[in-house]
């Protein structure tokens, strides 16, 4: 049983209201944005929360681009000023297509809700550590270097087996468990309910560079999306002069590496996109090159009587619209209500879980409709030459800003945009059929080595 004298644990003792037969009321596994958010919220409400992180902050993580909708969540957590301090302002998205001579810019200020004009690009090592420390400041007991190996549930709670960096074992007894383990997908793996996304299968290569050409003036912090034959690239400028470059590509392409050193293969991939290669002329690689496969997945379940799956522990979708951190943090806010209902109002727990499940499904569903089509000729035209009949451009910009859970009335216009998409696609039937045939071939499952 863990004790306050162990060096990995904080010195804060459990509150006097904690039940003596449990080590904590809520045990949160994973100290990323999802886990740190729900831990901070519950601790602030007086809950006895234990937050476990397998590594030590600061640690590298990809996914540096945030959405304007994150701002309200940072405000509620009381950390927006810190994000402003280390983040780079991001006012919109630049799209670059090999089929067009011009470049297109979508600015968040043109969305339906004019109060969401910008977001930030951040080093995830800074953001994640800040959120983790904030949870501790709010009263959560936070521990690093502690990896959870197994969870067993019973009628009253869960027993959690964990292992410390040095190999020592721990056992925790908790009334409620939150799985915020990200792509480790602790519970989805244990329950065998994790599924590859049948409609989207992609892999990624990514690294950090210095000396990358950026957009001028106010636009310097904007993300740029480059399409190329095997997928798309991101270019994310960070405040310290480093730029994150990544390629999200079809698995067959990553498999074609065939033993070539990863940095060399990444440079070869960049060369396939002349517009990006131009921006990287004279740039220097300043990090390892990473590769990952099996990119998109989801769990068949999001919650149970004594547990929740938050953020990437539940589902991960293609990052083209930078939704990861926002959906993770949003799940923490909604998940906190489920925990409170389960512990204090058991009769309301089932309804709270149903609401939670709807939210968890909604985010990936709304973004995925566009993700599945983002490389289609019709959707590419929509992004490269946006028009605003029925306010569809404003609605799409709001969706790209993450404004999908509030009261902004974008949905009739989103429906109109989808109808226009199908009509234009039918008007170019041959081209559209060729795209979907090629896409079906692209998403075929192949074994991709990660490194």
Cβ-contact 68, 87 below 8 angstroms:
no
Residues 103 and 235 in one domain: yes
* Domain closes at, from 367, 391, 411: 367
> Is 81 a domain residue?
no
Q: Please report the pLDDT score of residue 440 as a whole number.
A: 84
> Is 279 a domain residue?
yes
> Is 379 a domain residue?
yes
> Is 3 a domain residue?
no
Q: Please report the pLDDT score of residue 19 as a whole number.
A: 67
Instruction: Report the C-alpha gap between 391 and 420 in whole angstroms.
Output: 12
> Is 215 a domain residue?
yes
How distant, in Å, are the alpha carbons of 47, 59, 93, 167 from that of 96?
48, 31, 10, 49
Q: In this structure, are strands 49-53 and 24-29 parallel, antiparallel, or unpaired?
A: parallel
Residues 341 and 447 in one domain: no
CATH for 165: 3.50.50.60
Residues 449 and 335 in one domain: no
> Is 15 a domain residue?
no
- The DSSP secondary structure of 238-256, one letter per residue, reads -TTSEEEEEEEE-HHHHHT
Name residues whose C-beta falls within 8 Å of residue 20's C-beta, 6 or more positions apart in sequence. none
How distant, in Å, are the alpha carbons of 12, 54, 133, 135, 308 from that of 48?
10, 20, 16, 12, 17
> Is 72 a domain residue?
no
**In 3D, which of 194, 207, 143 has the Cα closest to residue 2?**
143
Cβ burial 104-131 (10 Å sphere, 16+ → b, else e): bbbbbebbbbeebbbbbbbbbebbbbbb
Residues 346 and 258 in one domain: no
pLDDT beyond 70 at 150: yes
pLDDT beyond 50 at 416: yes
Note down the domain range covering 143. 24-60+125-197+297-367
Tell me: the pLDDT tens digits for 313-336?
999 999 999 999 999 999 999 999
**In 3D, which of 412, 411, 439 has the Cα closest to residue 425?**
439
Count CB neighbours of 346 within 10 A.
Answer: 10
Residues 377 and 283 in one domain: yes
* Domain closes at, from 346, 367, 388: 367
* Domain closes at, from 367, 384, 412: 367
pLDDT beyond 50 at 7: no
pLDDT band at 3 (very low <50, low <70, confident <90, very high): very low
Residues 56 and 148 in one domain: yes
Give CA angle at 148 (77, 49), nearest 5°.
35
- Which of 98-102, 198-202, 262-266, 379-383 comes out lowest in average pLDDT? 198-202
CATH for 399: 3.30.9.100
How distant, in Å, are the alpha carbons of 96, 141, 304 from that of 348?
49, 27, 14
Q: Please report the pLDDT score of residue 446 as a whole number.
A: 66
The number of domains in the chain is 2
144 forms beta bridges with 53
Residues 283 and 153 in one domain: no
Residues 220 and 311 in one domain: no
Count CB neighbours of 376 within 10 A.
Answer: 18
Residues 130 and 29 in one domain: yes
Instruction: Report the C-alpha gap between 451 and 449 in whole angstroms.
Output: 7
From its phi and psi, is residue 259 left (phi > 0), alpha (psi between -120 and 50) or beta?
A: left
Residues 357 and 419 in one domain: no
Tell me: the pLDDT tens digits for 24-61?
999 999 999 999 999 999 999 999 999 999 999 999 99
Specify the 3-state DSSP secondary structure of 111. Answer: coil
Q: In this structure, are strands 315-316 and 297-299 parallel, antiparallel, or unpaired?
A: antiparallel
Residues 357 and 217 in one domain: no
Specify the 3-state DSSP secondary structure of 157. Answer: coil
Q: Please report the pLDDT score of residue 389 as a whole number.
A: 95
CA end-to-end span of the chain, whole Å?
36
Mean pLDDT of the chain: 93
The long-range contacts involving 272-279, CB below 8 angstroms and separated by at least 24 positions, are 272/228, 272/229, 272/230, 273/98, 273/226, 273/228, 273/233, 274/98, 275/96, 275/98, 275/226, 276/96, 276/226, 276/228, 276/233, 276/235, 276/245, 278/213, 279/212, 279/213, 279/224, 279/235
Cβ-contact 369, 80 below 8 angstroms:
no
Residues 138 and 56 in one domain: yes
> Is 77 a domain residue?
no
Tell me: the pLDDT tens digits for 286-321?
999 999 876 789 999 999 999 999 999 999 999 999
């Amino acid at each position: 049983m863990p004790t306050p004298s162990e060096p990995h644990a904080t010195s804060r003792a459990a509150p006097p209201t904690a039940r003596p037969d449990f080590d904590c009321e809520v045990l949160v596994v994973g100290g990323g944005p999802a886990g740190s958010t729900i831990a901070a919220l519950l601790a602030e409400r007086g809950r006895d929360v234990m937050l476990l992180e397998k590594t030590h902050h600061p640690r590298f993580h990809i996914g540096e681009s945030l959405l304007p909708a994150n701002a309200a969540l940072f405000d509620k957590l009381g950390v927006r000023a810190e994000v402003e301090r280390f983040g780079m302002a991001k006012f919109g998205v630049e799209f670059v297509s090999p089929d067009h001579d011009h470049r297109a810019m979508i600015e968040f200020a043109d969305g339906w809700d004019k109060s969401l004009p910008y977001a930030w690009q951040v080093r995830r090592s800074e953001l994640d550590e800040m959120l983790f420390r904030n949870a501790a400041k709010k009263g959560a007991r936070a521990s690093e270097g502690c990896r959870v190996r197994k969870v067993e549930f019973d009628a009253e709670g869960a027993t959690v087996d964990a292992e410390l960096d040095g190999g020592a074992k721990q056992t925790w007894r908790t009334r409620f468990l939150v799985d915020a383990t990200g792509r480790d997908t602790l519970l989805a793996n244990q329950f065998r309910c994790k599924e590859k996304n049948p409609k989207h299968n992609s892999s990624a290569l990514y690294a950090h560079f210095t000396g990358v050409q950026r957009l001028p003036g106010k636009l310097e912090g904007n993300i740029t999306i480059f399409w190329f034959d095997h997928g798309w690239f991101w270019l994310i400028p960070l405040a310290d002069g480093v730029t994150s470059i990544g390629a999200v590509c079809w698995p067959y392409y990553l498999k074609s590496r065939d033993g070539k050193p990863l940095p060399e293969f990444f440079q070869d991939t960049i060369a396939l996109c002349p517009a990006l290669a131009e921006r990287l002329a004279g740039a220097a690689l300043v990090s390892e090159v990473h590769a990952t496969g099996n990119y998109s997945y989801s769990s068949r379940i999001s919650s149970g009587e004594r547990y929740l799956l938050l953020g990437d522990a539940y589902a991960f979708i293609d990052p083209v619209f930078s939704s990861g951190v926002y959906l993770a943090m949003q799940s923490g806010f909604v998940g906190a209500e489920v925990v409170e209902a389960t512990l204090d109002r058991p009769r309301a727990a089932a309804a709270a879980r149903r609401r939670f499940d709807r939210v968890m499904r909604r985010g990936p569903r709304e973004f995925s409709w566009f993700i599945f089509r983002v490389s289609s000729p019709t959707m590419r035209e929509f992004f490269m030459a946006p028009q605003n009949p029925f306010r569809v451009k404003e609605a799409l910009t709001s969706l790209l800003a993450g404004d999908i859970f509030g009261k902004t009335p974008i949905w009739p216009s989103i429906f109109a945009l989808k109808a226009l998409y199908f009509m234009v696609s039918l008007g170019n039937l041959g081209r559209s059929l060729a795209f979907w045939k090629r896409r079906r071939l692209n998403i075929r499952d192949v074994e991709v080595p990660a490194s």
